[in-house]
Amino acid sequence: MSMRKTAAGHEPAGYPATNYLNRELGILAFNRRVLAQAKDAATPLLERLRFLCIVSSNLDEFFEIRVAGLREQVKLHSVSLTPDGLSAQGALESISREAHAMVEEQYALLNREILPGLAAKGIAFLRRGAWDEAQFEWIRDYFFREVMPVLTPIGLDPSHPFPRLLNKSLNFAIELEGKDAFGRSIGKAIVQAPRVLPRVIRLPKELCACEYGFVFLSSVLHEFVGELFSGMNVLGCYQFRVTRNSDLFIDEEEVKNLRETIQGELPQRHFSDAVVRLEVSDSCSPAMTEFLLGEFGLTGNELYTVAGPVNLVRLMRIPELVRRGDLLFAPFKAGMPKTVKKTPSIFDSIHAGDILLHHPYQSFAPVIELLDQAAVDPRTVAIKMTVYRTGTDSVLMQSLLRAAQNGKEVTVVVELMARFDEEANIGWATKLERVGAHVVYGVVGYKTHCKMLMIVRRDEGRPGSVLRRYVHLGTGNYNPVTARLYSDFSLLTCNEEIGDDVNEVFKQLTGLGLSRQHKHVWQAPFTLHANMLAAIREEAAAARAGKPARIIAKMNSLLEQGIIDALYDASCAGVRIDLIVRGVCALRPGIKGLSEKIRVRSIVGRFLEHHRVFYFHAGGKEKVLLASADWMERNFFRRIETAFPILDRKIKRRVINEGLRVYLADNRQAWEMDAAGGYRPRRAARGKPRCAQEELIALLKP
């Protein structure tokens, strides 16, 4: 066996590189599973379109961050290898092959199945060649009234160099012939489509032979682009889009004011010099394609030629614009625990016993209500909360503002480095400071990713009154929108020992001092990794001693090599291990003599599987933890995370059944992973088909 250090040098990896899978290729494999939802004829048609758009959105971020990082390594002549032994250049070559094939499949699906299917249902996207006279006149009027006034054509000549294009913006490359007003022969021009313009435009119903008729902005501009170049002949008009490196670079050793530093870096995300991908329409001439590649310093490996709109993400709005419930997933109403319904005071409900919420099947409203009541409750003394992703329009943040205005002691730990949410978080931090809240930004170098809310309240007691901590801990973000789309657990408790642990974490985040030993909570970067390893090794020791041993874990990603090696060791010892990993898994299951006892599956369906649940047999005690952290190096060593145990027996049984066993029984949306990293759908050969998400909707309905 070779002995190699992980990237951070924390835990030596004791197995050869061939026993690990590539992270980037794992991300693409996950997106293939999402694409399969768009391919599935059993999925409602507008939902198929939505899944197709999700793949494009995921690929955008993949290129902006993961591919951009690999290209930087190549640029710096890095000799480091990925855990599976690939060089950065080797990884890029594999990514290029897989990503090109996937994008080709996307557009084939769009053009051959989804758009024709929508047209058959009365939702048509009208091509330029199919416009009748009335449609043409309406679109022409729309162009002159709404589009042309905001366009700025830029002819390319020595005094007009190639413009700096906004990241992922829609642009058009124009080939021209003739002379302009100054007698210049300019052969090329660029037209940028401002983001204020809609990418799909609905025509009046009376002009269409269907209920909903749309045209693409690209079609409108293509048809009338000659109006921007009076007297010249337009030889070609080609839509294109560039993707830039969007990772923020912050020199943590030089930072004096984190917020000001990030505010200064954010504009560079949109105009970074490092372009990583060029997308062009398949009608683009070879000469213009070569010209664009040269302008951005790219090769054919970074060129993606597409048969349709270069930005499918903008089609995400179509399900909102089209009122066709028959083409969407059936609506459902989120349930509410009976203990919350019994009393108008959420504090009384929590005081009566711990409350578990399973989102989105159960409402996020009790979490909102907890903070809302605390903001106006005269007994509330203090509120402390972490904010990672909460959105630009958050009722939770409004409650925090109201609490501070009402004289409560409000402390908010805002993570300014939450990727693509930096601007929203800076905005909330500014508003909170204005009303007197204490705003801190955690610890430089460690993202605050844990989800914690603590309310200190003066309750009636005997004798006199007593200060009690009411705590919310979750696996997901404080975002009511994603709480309707992501599967997550919330725990509401006033357990004193849990409250003490949470208070200690807040003290670390806002003040100074050494980390203290917690009674229940495992915390990264201090104890989480070591405790997870210890729990895995305890199961291995039990199996070697001939005792029952079992591990079940559900998470988004599994990449950390120390954990993978411990799981391999546990499998060799005889521990039966089930891993439910939605996204990337670097562990190879089912290898004889190494991982025979390990099964890996991924669930991809209507909701994004997001909760992290960890089960250990623990000699029959059944240790169950929920966490904000995946089994990734960054979560263990570069983030502030929490894993918290479920102490109540009834709630523990719920977590095991709802968060693990129902997913292990799924044979409709489950994908089983093989030793080579491939996935095949798990389907019921005999018996009843079972879908975890549908069963949970039925189980937890009001």
- Looking from the CA of 697 toward its CB, the CA atoms found within 13 Å total 15
Domain for residue 9, yes or no?
Answer: no
Query: Do residue 79 and residue 219 come from a single domain?
Result: no
Percent of the chain with pLDDT over 90: 77
Residue 147 belongs to a domain: yes
Task: With H, G, I as helix, E, B as strand and everything else as coil, classify residue 106.
Answer: helix
Q: Which of 494, 513, 532 is the last residue of a domain?
A: 513
Distance, in Å, from the CA atom of 276 to the CA atom of 242, rounded to the nearest integer, reads: 8
Residue 290's pLDDT band, with cuts at 50, 70 and 90, is very high
Looking at the structure, tell me whether residues 73 and 208 fall in a common domain.
no
* Furthest C-alpha separation in the chain: 94
Flag whether pLDDT at 151 surpasses 70. Answer: yes
Domain holding 598: CATH number?
A: 3.30.870.10
User: What is the share, in percent, of the chain residues with pLDDT greater than 70?
Assistant: 92
Specify the higher pLDDT residue, 3 or 260.
260
> Which residues are CB-contacts of 471 (< 8 A; sequence separation ≥ 6)?
452, 453, 454, 455, 491, 492, 493, 494, 495, 498, 499, 502
Radius of gyration of the chain (CA): 27
What is the H or E stretch that residue 32 is in? helix 23-39
In DSSP terms, 490 is beta-bridged to 357, 474
Flag whether 123 is in a domain: no
pLDDT category at 272 given cuts 50, 70, 90 is: low
Exposure b/e, 80-100, CB count within 10 A at least 16 = b = eebbbebbbeebbeebbebbe
Q: Given a cut of 90, is residue 389 above it in pLDDT?
A: no
Residue 273 has pLDDT above 80, yes or no: no
CA distance 9 to 15: 15
Give the angle 282-288-293 at the CA atoms, nearest 5°.
90
Q: Is 183 exposed, middle or buried (0-12, 13-18, 19+ CB in 10 A)?
A: exposed
Q: What is the CATH number of the domain that holds 48?
A: 1.20.58.310
Q: Which two tokens stand for residue 173?
A: 């490359």
Distance CA 183, CA 204 (A): 42
pLDDT at 511: 84
pLDDT higher than threshold 60 for residue 1: no
- Find the range with the poorest average confidence among 341-345, 402-406, 617-621, 696-700: 341-345
* Cβ atoms within 10 Å of 538's Cβ, excluding its own: 18
What is the tally of structural domains in the chain? 4
> CA-CA distance, 382 to 375, in Å (whole number)?
9
Q: Give the CA angle between residues 14, 17, 21 to the nearest 5°.
A: 115
Per-residue confidence (pLDDT) for residue 248, from 0 to 100? 58
Shortest CA distance to 213 belongs to which of 317, 146, 140, 127? 127
Pick from 309, 322, 442: which is nearest to 386 by CA?
442
Residues 6+ apart with CB under 8 A from 154: 160, 163, 189, 190, 191, 192
- Look at residue 204 and tell me if it is in a domain: yes
Check if 10 is active-site: no
H helix or E strand, kind and range, residue 681 = strand 679-681
Please say whether the beta carbons of 205 and 213 come within 8 A: yes
pLDDT of 316 above 60? yes
| The predicted structure's pLDDT at residue 181 | 67
User: Going by DSSP bridges, is the β-strand pair 612-616/550-555 parallel, antiparallel, or unpaired?
Assistant: antiparallel
CA atoms in the 13 A half-sphere facing the CB of 164: 8
149 and 297 both lie in a single domain: yes
Question: Is residue 234 domain-shared with residue 291, that is, in the same domain?
Answer: yes
- How much is the pLDDT for 8? 41
The pLDDT value recorded for residue 80 is: 78
Q: Which domain holds residue 40?
A: 17-105
216 and 312 fall within a common domain: yes
Cβ pair 305, 280 in contact under 8 A: yes
In three-state secondary structure terms, 345 is coil
Tens of pLDDT along 68-78? 999 989 988 88
Same structural domain, 426 and 537: no
Establish if 613 belongs to a structural domain. yes
Q: Please say which residue of 453, 482, 513 terminates a domain.
A: 513
In a domain, 328, yes or no: no
Burial class (CB in 10 A: 0-12, 13-18, 19+), 627: buried
> Is residue 100 domain-shared with residue 140, that is, in the same domain?
no
DSSP state of 111: I
Q: Specify whether 162 is located in the same domain as 294.
A: yes
Residue 5 reports pLDDT greater than 80: no
Of 75 and 644, more confident: 644
- Co-location of 481 and 594 in the same domain: no
Residues 6+ apart with CB under 8 A from 305: 279, 280, 281, 282, 284, 289
Q: Determine the 3-state secondary structure of 79 from DSSP.
A: coil
Question: Which CATH number fits the domain that encloses residue 196?
Answer: 3.30.1840.10
Residues 95 and 205 in one domain: no
CA distance 308 to 241: 12
Residue 418 binned pLDDT confidence (cut-offs 50, 70, 90)? low
**pLDDT band for position 262 (50/70/90)?**
low
168 and 290 co-located in one domain:
yes
Instruction: For residues 341-355, give the mean pLDDT.
Output: 91
| One domain for residues 152 and 201 | yes
**Residue finishing a domain among 105, 124, 151:** 105
Pair type for strands 612-616 and 623-627: antiparallel
| Average pLDDT value over all residues in the chain | 91
| Residue 378, domain member (yes or no) | yes
What are the start-end ranges of the H helices in 482-615? 496-510, 528-544, 561-573
CA distance 383 to 302: 49
pTM, two decimal places: 0.92
- Which is it for strands 576-581 and 598-603: parallel, antiparallel or unpaired? parallel
Q: Which of 222, 358, 359, 449 is catalytic?
A: 449
pLDDT score at 256: 47
Q: Is residue 497 part of a domain?
A: yes
